[in-house]
C-alpha cells in the first residue's frame, strides 16, 4: 500500500518523508545559524527527492544536537529567525514540514518544542514535549497538551516527541482526539533500538492510527544516533523502515487516512480504541462505560502514587549533572495560553 515509497501516489494518499538527519554539534549562535541553513537545504532535498511528498519530518534535536545545553544564546523562539527560515522553506517548496526547536522559557527551563508548518508557511501545530527523557533531559514539562490539526489533504495529524512514545497513554490521547497520523520525532541512540521499533508498531495497532517516526542519525563524536525512520500502518504493519543507518536518507511511504477512518468505523475484533470505553458490549448494551482503572482515577485526583514509590532511586537529574530542582511545576511561571 505504500505506493513504492510514494512514487505512485493515490488520490487519497498522503506521502510522508522522514529525514534521518546527521546528528549535529551546536554550541554557539553561529553553529545554530549554520544548522538552520542545513535543515532548510534538506527541505529542498525532500522536494527534489520526491515530487509527490506532502510532509517532511525532521527529528527531535535536529537544530540543537544532543548536548542538552540550555545556554540562552542558542535557545529559540517560535517567532524567531530559525523558525522564520523553516516557514520560508515550506512556503518556497510548497511542502508541509515538522521541525524541532529548544524554546526559550523565561522563568523556567527551556521547552522541547515541535512545530508543524504548512505549505504556505503558516505554523499549524505547536507542541511542547510532555515527557522529557528523565533523568537525562532538563526540559520543562510541556503545558499545551497534545494538539490535533487538519494536516495535508485534511488528514488529522498529531505530534509527540521521543520518550513520549514510550507511554501508551500519549498515542491513545492522540487517537482519542481524532488523529489519523501520529508523528514521533526523536534523538534516540542505539540502546533504544528494539523498544523504538515495537512501541512504534504498538502505538499504531492499539489505536488504529498511522505512526511516522524518525531519529537523528550518525555520530557527533560522543553520541551515536540510529536513524530508524519508520512508517507504520494502522494495523501495525511496517510500510517503510530505514535500517541501514545512512545519514540524511529520507525514508518515504504513502499512507491512507481514508483507510484509517474505514477501519475505525468497520472493525469489530481489535477495534481497541473504541472498545476501551465500551467494555463487553456483546453482553451489555453499549458496553460498560465506567473507568475501572485506578491509575486514571488517582491521576485525575492528584494522588498518583506507585506501590513502590518510596523505593524509586532516581527522582531528579543529579545523576546526569543537573542540580535538584526546588521549583514546583508551574510555580512562578506565566500560565500557558489557552
Per-residue pLDDT of the chain (338 residues; tens, 9 = 90+): 567 899 999 999 999 999 999 999 999 999 999 999 999 999 999 999 999 999 999 999 999 999 999 999 999 999 999 999 999 999 999 999 999 999 999 989 999 999 999 999 999 999 999 999 999 999 999 999 999 999 999 999 999 999 999 999 999 999 999 999 999 999 999 999 999 999 999 999 999 999 999 999 999 999 999 999 999 999 999 999 999 899 999 999 999 999 999 999 999 999 999 999 999 999 999 999 999 999 999 999 999 999 999 999 999 999 999 999 999 998 766 655 44
Q: How many CB atoms lie within 10 A of CB 38?
A: 15
Catalytic sites, residue numbers? 60, 129, 162
Closest CA to 21 of 5, 7, 41, 48: 41
What pLDDT, on the 0 to 100 scale, is given for residue 276? Answer: 97
Distance CA 266, CA 259 (A): 10
What pLDDT, on the 0 to 100 scale, is given for residue 330? Answer: 82
Q: Domain map of the chain by residue range?
A: 3-270
What pLDDT, on the 0 to 100 scale, is given for residue 3? Answer: 76
311 CB-contact burial (10 Å; exposed 0-12 / middle 13-18 / buried 19+) = exposed
What pLDDT, on the 0 to 100 scale, is given for residue 338? Answer: 44
| Cα–Cα separations (whole angstroms), residue 19 to 99, 190, 228, 230 | 11, 17, 10, 10
Domain 3-270 has CATH 1.10.150.20: no
Q: Which residues contact 212 (CB under 8 A, 6 or more apart)?
A: 16, 18, 57, 181, 182, 183, 184, 230, 231, 232, 255
DSSP state of 22: B
pTM: 0.96
What pLDDT, on the 0 to 100 scale, is given for residue 2? Answer: 67
Closest CA to 227 of 26, 24, 23: 23
Amino acid at each position: 500500500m505504500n505506493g513504492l515509497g510514494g512514487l505512485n501516489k493515490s488520490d487519497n494518499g498522503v506521502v510522508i518523508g522522514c529525514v534521518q538527519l546527521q546528528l549535529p554539534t551546536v554550541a554557539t549562535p553561529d553553529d545554530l545559524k549554520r544548522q538552520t541553513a542545513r535543515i532548510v537545504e534538506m527541505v529542498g532535498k525532500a522536494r527534489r527527492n520526491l515530487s509527490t511528498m506532502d510532509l517532511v519530518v525532521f527529528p527531535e534535536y535536529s537544530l540543537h544536537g544532543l548536548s542538552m545545553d540550555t545556554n540562552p544564546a542558542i535557545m529559540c523562539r517560535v517567532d524567531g529567525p530559525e523558525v522564520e527560515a523553516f516557514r520560508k522553506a515550506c512556503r518556497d517548496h510548497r511542502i508541509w514540514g515538522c521541525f524541532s526547536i529548544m524554546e526559550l522559557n523565561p522563568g523556567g527551563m527551556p521547552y522541547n518544542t515541535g512545530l508543524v508548518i504548512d505549505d504556505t508557511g503558516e505554523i499549524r501545530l505547536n507542541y511542547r514535549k510532555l515527557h522529557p527523557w528523565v533523568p537525562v533531559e532538563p526540559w520543562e514539562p510541556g503545558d499545551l497538551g497534545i494538539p490535533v490539526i487538519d494536516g495535508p489533504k485534511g488528514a488529522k495529524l498529531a505530534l509527540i516527541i521521543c520518550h513520549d512514545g514510550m507511554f501508551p497513554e500519549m498515542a491513545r490521547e492522540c487517537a482519542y482526539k481524532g488523529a489519523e497520523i501520529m508523528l514521533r520525532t526523536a534523538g534516540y541512540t542505539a540502546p533504544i533500538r528494539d523498544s523504538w521499533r515495537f512501541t512504534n508498531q504498538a502505538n499504531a495497532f492499539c489505536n488504529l492510527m498511522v505512526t511516522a517516526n524518525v531519529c537523528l542519525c550518525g555520530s557527533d563524536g560522543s553520541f551515536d544516533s540510529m536513524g530508524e525512520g519508520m512508517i507504520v500502518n494502522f494495523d501495525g504493519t511496517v510500510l517503510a523502515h530505514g535500517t541501514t543507518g545512512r545519514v540524511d536518507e529520507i525514508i518515504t511511504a504513502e499512507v491512507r487516512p481514508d483507510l484509517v477512518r474505514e477501519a475505525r468505523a468497520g472493525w469489530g475484533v481489535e477495534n481497541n480504541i473504541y472498545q476501551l470505553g465500551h467494555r463487553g458490549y456483546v453482553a451489555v448494551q453499549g458496553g460498560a462505560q465506567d473507568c475501572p482503572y485506578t491509575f486514571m482515577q488517582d491521576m485525575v485526583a492528584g494522588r498518583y502514587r506507585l506501590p513502590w514509590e518510596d523505593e524509586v532511586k532516581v527522582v531528579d537529574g543529579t545523576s546526569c549533572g543537573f542540580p535538584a530542582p526546588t521549583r514546583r511545576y508551574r510555580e512562578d511561571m506565566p500560565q500557558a495560553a489557552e
